Structure 1
């Protein structure tokens, strides 16, 4: 199986380069690494050999260049740095040796093929498999970048897919011009290549990868007259819209890329088996927003916050009015505009029965859980009980996302509340960790259970019954829903549903610190 170095394979008929230090089959390096077979040469002037560690009796790859010395300094330094990071999506580095006349790096041997070879043999990959590969590469970078390192060599030739399905990133290399941002942009290039079979050279250039270079040359991206690359969906049918958007955003120099850990989390959520049918092969996700959910012209013009601000003001005013009415002895069915004094020893007329005053109190919550219908991993479900623990110091929080709307592949996430029995509900208050979130309150009549299928069923039912007139968005961190409850109706199940996340310095996320339900 071919083990790829940093760049393209050598020309098929390229003459061998013979200088002092050239390796030979059967030679043993450092008294333990036996060279078995020359696999290929790369564009950086290195030779990749299949070898055997005769001490540990395991296969290894030996990446060798000659002469050594100053010309091999960058290769050895990158190898030493890479050896300190252990991750299942990174090729393990075992040794780095400089013998002056030659230098070599000994790394893990991967039985498999590179992404370049896989696409060349089988054509572009289906969206689910492309996402899996992108997720693995981003996860590898998320392990590398916190150490301050840059991989500097992310492209289809260094992305290896083993025979058992493991995806690993090999052969880190940095020459000072590379940055963590360029690593992340290169993940966009890997996704683009996996989906289309083309490499977007202009956005994430690949070392040595020029059109027509040898048998391993990668076709350039399809471009318009101005040189702009075509989106994957324009090149090939069946690419989901959200995956298309993410790929193009990573390649767009005008859009700041996320950090590697945020990108890994995003792709991890997208990494869904094709047989789960979350990926619509004909285009966008099947649960894409209805036209009724699209922003109005007012919102597009910036009026959404103004309108919602007015709505919030009216809601606060209404709360004050209800409180005032309660104090003055009225109710929300027949509010009194003036106080009516009645001596305590004077009985009410027979035709004017006195209605008992309902005591508004905090309602006990019997059960609470996180609703996440569109995630396969379901790794954000813990700490739901912290939203009803009478403390705003701790709560439940989402992961960090790259977009406010969860990345165009989630409808949202929510907190489901079970009051244990039907109650008259006056208001629901949610205290968040940051301002700028958008959420809505819903109700339903069933509890399908905590599972992916149960969450889907619950959301399908509940989103048909909103409480109030729309989404709530406030400048502060407290949301109060009080203007949509039917006084003649009793509620047991409520769903606080988040659709947009506020920004922080790493992406978009929010915490729900406390939810309080008032009623009788």
Structure 2
């Protein structure tokens, strides 16, 4: 067994009783203010004179008695908090157990990330100044005459978090509110604005960050269909395919964030949400750490360990630290100062995923079954996950039908009270005697005759009507003018000639809303170069074939050089794909930039589509518009066009 990681990052929350609201959210949200555990013993750093003084509401919980307000996805609490205060364990907070040491924690009052574009570290508050109390707000209060506060989710360490309504756009949002004099107010604003600039749909988006007089507030998305990972794990460990999707999506998302100089530092089961489509989204990027003043000298290592802890918990339904947290039992009691591999904690764990979790959690990368190098960054973890053999989703199981049951009528129970069902006197036996089964009775005389004649009449009428319709169709078909005489030889059924039309140019088409204007433009020529071995491909999309429910579609615009008649477009895909054929008006001089500039002509689903028009369409610009993508080997949805041919 490998030695436990000592790279603890973050700061344990201050001890003390807190007075918070016990409100519960009735909808899933993305409140990143708090996501996990109750505060416990203060680490040694907090006892120094330059540390902020402890105030009421300094525990990371939601109620004064140690329980935390939990909602489907918006409440930061988790079921594991209801047992009372316990240390906040995980890759983002220092613990009092043997897995973490004093010199690895950071002072409260910092939320910076080392690296380009990172959030700068906040200045610690003077020893004589206490953390300001959260503003006294109430339900119905409006911010900027727009955001109406509905329900207080939590009050913690001088800030409060609310479920609110954006009255301008009529949608639910989440709001974090601090007094403008809070020592971390500027850091929170900076973190929120940096996170908003990322614009990655895999993260819960920051919608607004404002300093308004004596208040600072951050507005973010509220996802009604999302469920925190902590709630999912409460029902049991994930299947290997679901765990693979979790580590792949989260590591790829965090790798993209770190490339922009942003870190999370508090990745826990409460900050990772799964939407109804199966896509994972991360809340609280940069903001979650800034609200608590958490920083790290090695932010990439911190987030990598956080992802490893999530994967460990998903495989075993256990928390890979000494104390219980997030409703999960800790594994510290199994082996002191060592971390047991997931496949030794729970039977049936996928071997490759178990090794991947250990590589992310253990510094030296050594596990009981592997000597692979550790994963020190989310980028390395994402590459290691993609190198695993494909993990197929579980097959849908269907229950076998029960044994055939004879009906009451078949069992001869109809009219059992009649004379035919009674045994003859002196013969012995009674009703239902197996030695003398009763024969199924016939229907009563008059009723049976009426039923038989009625069924016969219906059959005769149906047969006669069908014969008449067939005869009428044949007669009309023989007498139709122009049948077989009006077509020019060599033309197909659309009236076209079937001759190939040269594609002069092509361009990727990814318009708003949802699109960013670019969909692998460098690969566009490969879609019409005459070779089946090359192809144009879309970006990767997660969870759903309809572009992850992020946009209506994407495709290629074909420039024919001048307006020409088009009767069909043949498209070859890799994998079953749904696509439409759209055409611009014939008098269009420039390539349209929006989907409204094209009209739908035809559509279909398959690997080889022959999209035909009812009659030749004269146009210069033809759009092959993909709407549903096939599932790739890596578990993502991605479209690939190997060849396109336009015919007149």
TM-score when normalising by structure 1: 0.47
Q: Output the TM-score relative to the length of structure 2.
A: 0.38
